[in-house]
Amino acid sequence: MSSQRKFFVIGNWKMNVDKARIDNIVKFMSAASLDPNTEAVVGCPSCYLSYARQRLPDEIAVAAQNCYKVAHGNFSGEISPAMILDSGCEWVILGHPERRTIFKESDQLIAEKVAHAQQTGIKIIACLCETSEDREEGRTDDVLFGQMKSLASISDWSRVVIAFEALWASNTGVLATAAQVQEALAKLRHWLRANVSDKVANSTRILYAGSVSSSNCRELAQLEDLDGFLVGSAALRPDIVDIINARRPDVSSLIAHFDRPDGRRA
């Protein structure tokens, strides 16, 4: 946890919304008191990018969930960073674990996407993941560092956020402990320090994903190397408000802070 890195939460809607559901999410997010010290973003299906951007408050940014590695051409079903920007959105998620595991996107393809996206000026949420097989076979470091190498083309790290997902703790009934999360994030920050620079290591925000909820977000938000969350299913519910506000002091802590030793309020 660092005061110089603004807390960042992205709620990824995946392929789970239509206009009616977007309107419902917009309603409860707009009505909520969101921590101004948290940068809030939603990951939206490409067909609804403009719709979501028009309806959400300006302080909530919108990200596309994917893009291709070139500006235009005969690539049916793809969208480019330029199209995302033209829709009024400023972020794109690249290398999401579902793109890596279901659609078999390689580190090389993701590297090409990241390189092109960076050239366009769009801001990037670059995803890394660890599978249960990686953990069981002791190859987590090799896998994560290999994925980090695919980001080598990045020249402006101020426009990049890294998101790490423990797939073995995503909708499996198994939760990663705070210690396990901190260990993984610390390794990623160390990689940045060793392979890019101290400045980038100190300033780049690293997120965690893996069954983040309103019940565990406050504990995780205090970790030294954690700067926010990439949220899945909870992003579709009012829980996302609690996660965005994970670092805002709750009422009980404020009361305790202002209580005097004699039991009277200050």
Supply the residues annotated as catalytic.
96, 165
* Buried/exposed code over 38-71 (b: 16+ C-beta within 10 A; e: otherwise): bbbbbbbbbebbebbbebbeeebbbbbbbbbbee
What is the pairing mode between strands 160-166 and 91-94? unpaired
| Identity at 56, one-letter amino acid code | L
Q: In DSSP terms, which residues pair with 42 in a beta bridge?
A: 11, 62
Q: From the CA atom positions of the chain, what is the Rg in Å? A: 19
d(CA 161, CA 207): 8
5 touches 32 (CB < 8 A): no
Count CB neighbours of 136 within 10 A.
10
What is the pairing mode between strands 38-44 and 160-166? unpaired
40 touches 60 (CB < 8 A): yes
Which among 55, 114, 51, 56 has a CA at the least distance from the CA of 81?
114
